[in-house]
Chain A
Amino acid sequence: MTDEVILEVKDLKTYFMVDEGLVKAVDGVDFQLHRGETLGIVGESGSGKSVTNLSIINLIPVPPGKIAGGQVLFHGKDLLKMPPHEIRDIRGNKISMIFQDPMTSLNPFLRISTQMVETIELHQGLDKKAAKEKAIEMLRLAGIPAPEKRIDQYPHQFSGGMRQRVMIAMALSCNPEILIADEPTSALDVTIQAQILELMQELTRKLGTAVIMITHSLGVVAGMCDTICVMYAGRIVERGRTEEIFESPKHPYTVGLIHSVPRLDQEIKGRLYSIPGQPPNVIDLPDCCPFFPRCEKAMDICKKKYPPSVSFENGQSASCWLYAKEAQNA
């Protein structure tokens, strides 16, 4: 990880218009990604993790979706204002993606070779033969045995873990600067998950790729990520370096999340901690802290205003009135 910022998301807002009202799926998200950094975005379903990342590469279906505001600066250029042909050059080339379900993100009617060679030819300007060689090399790097034979097979001839390896090979085949991995291992078994995470770590380190890792699993971020952003109801509620977030989580939601996971390495005496209540419905959210109905430390002000983001000395920051109030008093 270096100090060079390659991607900067500023006040990103993505809304969806549905029959019931306006869904503010992402409502003012900011973060920076440095070269070679692995950034984890953690949150529960509906917190806006995936929409944030689809917005970055401008893949939000319009309508019903709409990017209502903000900027996504990639090397200083705003991806959201780019004409379609320009962003096509970046998508899959400089910024590529891996999705959760490798079965639905590969075309079942096309051979792996067709799908991989197409991308490489298009973005790298290689001829067909060279592109295929490059594809075979990438599959080999991704740990697929006998890639020269396997490349001519169809996706259904691969197992779940193998398909995810193909996706990784495909995503990294154009030497992207940023890899966005949206729940890359959630559909896989633990032993396969361990294989895939190790592979991602090894390859991205070798190629110097920065990774945005979206996941709901705290275990996965703990092992993979340098920094973490915790999302709740469309906003980042806490961010910081991985070790610091786990050691001294500040936001009550982060605290609750960390404590409500049963752990392999600890005996739990009595009951497991759990956050009461349900995640909020993001339709027509009032302008207050969305976590306050579930929060043990909720105060009056939490019902009235959204808390500002407060920074701490170690670079960690949290959006919570608990700390904002302290700041005012001091």
Chain B
Amino acid sequence: MPDHRVLLDVRGLKMHFPIKASFFSKAKNFIYAVDGIDFQVRKGETLGLVGESGCGKSTTARAIAQLYKPTAGEVLLNGKDLTKLPPREMIEARKNMQMVFQDPYASLNPRMTAGDIIAEPIRIFQKRGLIDMSTEERNDRVEQLMEKVGLSRFFKNRYPHEFSGGQRQRIGIARALALNPELILCDEPVSALDVSIQSQILNLFKDLQDEFGLTYLFIAHDLSVIKYISNRVAVMYLGKIVEIADAAELYKNPLHPYTQALLSAAPIPDPKIEAKRKRIILTGDVPSPDKQRPGCNFYDRCSKHMDICKQARPMLKEAGPGHEVSCFLYHKPE
């Protein structure tokens, strides 16, 4: 169960990508992929990050992992700002923060055996003298990790192509666990899997969390998956968090018009409920994040927009206990 210590604190994180006409020209425009987001993840909890493609979910995860150098903002892991750490200390911080990726086909090296893939993080840290472990201990650790994620240790010498999608995702999870991290950034880890395998992997994530006290930042576009796995949920739209609340509260009482539309659009596998449901159908597509808007990012697609929404940007503010929303319906502009 989550305690109250903040493990990850993201403050004003911005990630802007320049659009250049050629390599030498100066950037005239930017893609505002992540445009000023704040959130905290407490030790032992799962924060679900949900949104449509292009809203900046994956960029957020990658900027936290320092795979991209954030344009602005702070990423505090255990109180240390990762964006300002010298390289040597950054490597040590990485030990505490691992990623699981969406595509289990692309995220495993096809020329390495499953055992090598899982052992690689340990080997990298051994090389730098940051972990003291004999080869035998390392092999034991790999076998132990494989059993933990539900793979037979006899598969150690097999190559990724010999595994199914679900099994490959298990290898990816074992690799993320190899260094005993506190935080795992999961970037759509179940989206590429079939229904029956998806539920196996979701249960595995939960079991591992219970056993090792792991903290997850769990990204998905499927709202029902997020509901099952998360303690708290943040909804992103066009580079910003529009609403953040406890999972139960958010699904029972969604406040932001975008969250409401998203929840009503997600299909429920029950024909009786489906027949009775009223959908909020959003018009148009998600706009391109290539310009900063003076008003609310959701203005064009919102059914409840007011004049103020076009002129001022709403801020993320508390609308109830632990329930923050950025919408002028709930708080007046200053």
Contacts and interface: CB of A to CB of B under 8 A. Distances in A.
Contacts of B194: 44-45, 216, 279
A275 B193 CA distance: 13
B227 interface: yes
B200 to A, nearest CB: 5
Given A223-B271, A223-B274, A274 B200 contact: yes
Nearest to B201: A274
B31 interface: no
A220 B267 contact: yes
Interface string B265-281: 11111111111000101
Contacts of B223: 190, 264
Contacts of A161: 285
A225 to B, nearest CB: 8
Interface stretch (A19-27, A73-81, A192-200, A310-318): A192-200
Chain B CB count within 10 A is highest, among A162, A267, A268, for: A267
Chain B CB count within 10 A is highest, among A159, A260, A262, A272, for: A262
Interface in B269-324: 269-275, 279, 281-283, 285-286
B195 A190 contact: no
Given A162-B285, A260-B198, A264-B224, A190 B262 contact: yes
A246 B271 CA distance: 7
B261 to A, nearest CB: 6
Nearest to B287: A159
B interface, by DSSP: helix, strand, loop or mixed?
helix
Chain B interface bracket (under 10, 10 to 19, 20 to 34, 35 or more): 35 or more
Interface residues of A, number: 46
Interface string A70-104: 00000000000000000000000000000000000
Chain A CB count within 10 A is highest, among B195, B221, B223, B262, for: B195
A162 B279 CA distance: 20
B263 interface: yes
Contacts of A194: 264-265, 267, 279, 281-282
A258 B261 CA distance: 24
B195 A257 contact: yes
B269 A222 contact: yes
Interface in B204-224: 206, 221, 223-224
B249 interface: no
Interface in B11-60: 52-53
Contacts of A219: 266-269, 274
15 contacts: A44-B194, A159-B285, A160-B285, A190-B221, A193-B265, A219-B269, A242-B271, A246-B271, A257-B195, A262-B202, A264-B268, A265-B273, A268-B228, A274-B199, A275-B196
